[in-house]
Structures are given as structure tokens and as C-alpha cells.
Structure 1
Amino acid sequence: MDFENLLSQPAIFTMALLFFSLFALSFQSRRHIHKAGARKAPPEAGGAWPLIGHLHLLGGQQPPHVTLGNMADKYGPIFTISIGRRKNLVVSNREIAKECFTVNDKAFAGRPKMIAYEILGYDYAIF
């Protein structure tokens, strides 16, 4: 019996499973983007890394507000950044921010229900 062959099969299986899951996640995110269809999404800032997103840009030598201001000069007054796997909307214009919190208040007031918020926030009392 060849023991090297037995040890390499789980490694090949694991690599194939990892490749398939990354492919499925990529396909799912593309499908989600195309579902939005007619809505025009704000531009996404470039330079995101796969797992941490734009965190490496915010943790540099400049303070985060300066980095976000420079990104606003480059991408416009409204754009999105990724922090981890979550997309975040950055608004740097007073009129757009006012519209977000008055006209579209219901869309921005909803937060995802997470068990950590419930436990750490005493049944959402803190947030």
C-alpha cells in the first residue's frame, strides 16, 4: 500500500473544495450585483484586498478622516468602501447626507440583526 498516495488525496480534495467554494462565492456576488439592475450603485473605491477590504488604507500613517477625504476627492462625494465583506457607504457632501437621513431615513435606519448585538447590547437597548 502506498502511504504517500493516501496522504495526498485529502489535500487534493481540500484544495478542490476551497476552489469550488471561492468560485461559488464569486458567482453569488456577481449575481447579486446584476439583480440590482436599474438602480445605479455609487462607485466603489479601488484598492480593496480580498478578505480585509479597504482596512489597510484606513490603518496607514494618515488619520482615517484624511484618507476618506482624499478618496472623496478621487471618487466623488458618495462612494462605497469594503470593510471586511461588508460594503459601507461614504458620504462627504452635506446635502447628500441630509437627504440620506431625512428622505431615505427608513432605508438607512435598518441594521442587520446579529446575535452579538442582541447579547452585548442587552436586547438592542444600547444601539
Structure 2
Amino acid sequence: MHRYVLRAVPTPEKSREVARKAITILQDFIEDENLLHDIDLVLTEGCSNVARHAYEKDEDCNRLELTIIITPGEHIVFEIADWGKGLCSKSIDFSMPSPEAVGGRGMFIMSELMDSFEHIVDEGKNIIRLTRKLKEDQWRKK
């Protein structure tokens, strides 16, 4: 098992940078470029949600944390965390919004591209845990 933790102040630019760093790490483990693209989309969406929604004000003390847990031959777990206002898990809408909607597609995209989606609150830490199982041919041969 391999574990990586990436941290940033959640601005749109820094959030995107965290997702890019994650993909750089994952390239050592994942062969499938389409899967890397899907994961990049999911992580970019999840991290940018923290930048847009987690905190009331932009402050240097705000935190975004992305933990990547890789179990080669099995799956990858992503935990996107913040210490902001959090989600109301009863109100998470995983359906695709209407074509006219300006936003609201992120949760749908994340839930469709991952195998599981969990919302966890642990002592003020809000965590979105996403798991993706990989097929044997998606792993990079070492």
C-alpha cells in the first residue's frame, strides 16, 4: 500500500494544482490514460468544490487536504477533506441537473466515475471518500 497526502490553501488555482500533483503520482501506478483523465476530472471537481463552497471567507488558514491510498492490483482511495462548513449529506444530489442549469454537475460526475462515494464527518473534518477499483490491465506493470 502507498499513501500520499497533498495539502493547500483552497483557492481555484491551488485546488487545480493539487489535482495535477495527484495525477503525476498516479502516473507511476496507472497505465490507462482514459482512467487518468477520469480521475483528473473527479479530483479537479472535488478539490474545486472545497475552494468554492467549504469556507465562508477566503483566508490563509483554510485547508484542503487530498489523501491518496493506493493498493496495487486492487483499488485507489481518494479522500478530499476540509475543515469548513461541510455538506449536509441528506441534501447531496447525485442526479444530473437539467441542461439549462448553470452548475450542480460535480457530484453526479464524481459518483458516476468512481465505484463508491462516501461523505464522512470526523471531529470537524469533512471528508469525501472516493474509491475506484482498477482492472488488471489498467495498472502499470513494474
TM-score, reference length from structure 1: 0.26
TM-score, reference length from structure 2: 0.25
| Structure of higher RCO (CA pairs closer than 8 Å, 6+ residues apart) | 2
| Greater strand proportion | 2
Bigger Rg, structure 1 or 2: 1
